[in-house]
Structure formats: C-alpha cells, structure tokens
C-alpha cells in the first residue's frame, strides 16, 4: 500500500481554496492515492478535480476513490495529453523527488516541472506549492550525495532508529526556503500572493546533522 502523507499540512491550502468560487478546476500534481484530493473535496466542496502521478499503484487507489487521475509526469509537456487549463495547480511535496545525477541537475528538473505546471494554468490561475524545506542548503547537498552513494548498493531504505531517519533510497533533493523562492523568482509570469512557513519537529538524524526543517506553502497567481 503506497504511503499517504498527512492532510493536516493542507489546512492553509483549504482555507485559501475556500475563498475561491466552487466551480473552479484543480489539478493535483503528484496526487498519489488521491488522499489530498479527497480532503480538498470534502473541505471545500469543489468537485472538478484531477490528479497526475507516475506511481501506477497509487493511481489505482485514487481511481477507486472515484477521481479522474492520469499516469503522467510533470517533467513532460502535458498540454496535449491533458488538453485543458486549470484554475489551480497544486504541487505538494513533489519537487524534492525530481532527482538528477547532481544537485544542479535536480534543480533544473524542478525548473522544468514548474514551467510545465505554469503552462497548465489559466491566466489568473493559482499555482500552490507545498514543500518540506531545510536549512542549511549545503548540508542537504551532503545528504543528497550520501543517499546517492548508498543507493548504488541497495534499493531499500537504510533506516536508523525509525522510518524517517533514512540515509538510503529514495534519493531526494530538498530545497531551503530561500532557494525555492529564488527558483520561483525566475518565473516572471508568477506573482507571489501568499507565503507561509512553519517550523517542524526534527528526527534524531536531522538533529545529528544540525538541520532545521520548515514546511513552506507558496501561492502564486499567473498573469
């Protein structure tokens, strides 16, 4: 059963969506099992919702929940496949999963994904990005390369004490809040309208690496 992440992180997203008309369309990029779409529909009453993901097993669960979901990657130009534009595009905890051979390559993949997501938006539509971010950025580069190194030897998580203390796969390329804003600053058609940042508790390994974790929510409007 694919892992489902907490919907509690989406409280501010739902508060924002509740300020918009109920007949808008929403695309959830990286929708997984559809649990976030489920939460949004229940909390907002918005019905015209869609999802894309690359995890077929998770998508099957989203389908049994009754959602219109598609096996598509946000790294591809989806204008033909989806053939529609959305009022809201949500990307929750997806960017750090876009991983290349190096940190720079990974950041370039984030640019591509954000550019494709922006293309799927109507003018005046909203891009909502929710990302776990860490400081300092350079230390996350160290973690990235440790995870890449260990991933040459195993496909399993290398867990120290509990689930989240994992130095093995999956390799993830986390942003710092500053780096994420810097990347998005390059999209001149996106205007920031809301920033939320919440400090999170740390696991044992994160403390060992002197990391600080922030859940960041960014809402942009396309002009």
Ligand X SMILES: C[S@@+](CC[C@H](N)C(=O)[O-])C[C@H]1O[C@@H](n2cnc3c(N)ncnc32)[C@H](O)[C@@H]1O
Smallest distance from the beta carbon of 71 to ligand X, in angstroms? Answer: 9
CA distance 132 to 100: 19
Contacts of 141 (CB under 8 A, 6+ apart): 103
127 versus 191: smaller Cβ distance to ligand X: 127
**Residue 105 exposure: Cα atoms within 13 Å on the Cβ side:** 7
> Rounded distance, CA 43 to CA 66, Å?
17
Q: Which is nearer to ligand X, 42 or 210 (CB)?
A: 42
Q: Is 90 left (phi over 0), alpha (psi -120 to 50) or beta?
A: beta
Give me the least distance between CB of 223 and ligand X, in Å please: 25
Residues that bind ligand X (CB under 6 A): 5, 29-30, 32, 36, 52-55, 58, 73-75, 92-94, 97
Structure-block tokens of residue 66? 């009754």
């Amino acid at each position: 059963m694919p892992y489902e992440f907490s919907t509690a992180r989406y409280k501010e997203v739902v508060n924002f969506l509740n300020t918009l008309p109920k007949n808008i369309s929403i695309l959830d990029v990286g929708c997984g099992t559809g649990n976030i779409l489920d939460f949004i529909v229940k909390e907002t009453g918005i019905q015209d919702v869609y999802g894309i993901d690359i995890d077929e097993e998770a998508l099957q669960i989203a389908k049994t929940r009754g959602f219109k979901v598609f096996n598509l990657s946000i790294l591809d130009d989806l204008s033909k496949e989806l053939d529609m534009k959305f009022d809201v595009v949500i990307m929750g905890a997806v960017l750090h999963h876009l991983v290349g051979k190096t940190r720079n390559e990974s950041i370039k993949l984030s640019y591509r994904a954000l550019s494709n997501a922006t293309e799927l938006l109507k003018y005046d539509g909203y891009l909502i990005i929710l990302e776990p971010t860490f400081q300092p950025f350079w230390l996350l580069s160290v973690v990235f390369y440790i995870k890449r190194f260990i991933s040459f030897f195993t496909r399993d998580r290398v867990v120290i004490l509990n689930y989240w203390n994992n130095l093995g796969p999956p390799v993830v390329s986390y942003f710092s809040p500053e780096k994420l804003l810097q990347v998005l600053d390059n999209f001149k058609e996106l205007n920031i309208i809301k920033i939320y940042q919440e400090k999170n508790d740390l696991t044992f390994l994160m403390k060992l690496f002197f990391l600080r974790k922030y859940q960041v929510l960014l809402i942009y409007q396309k002009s």
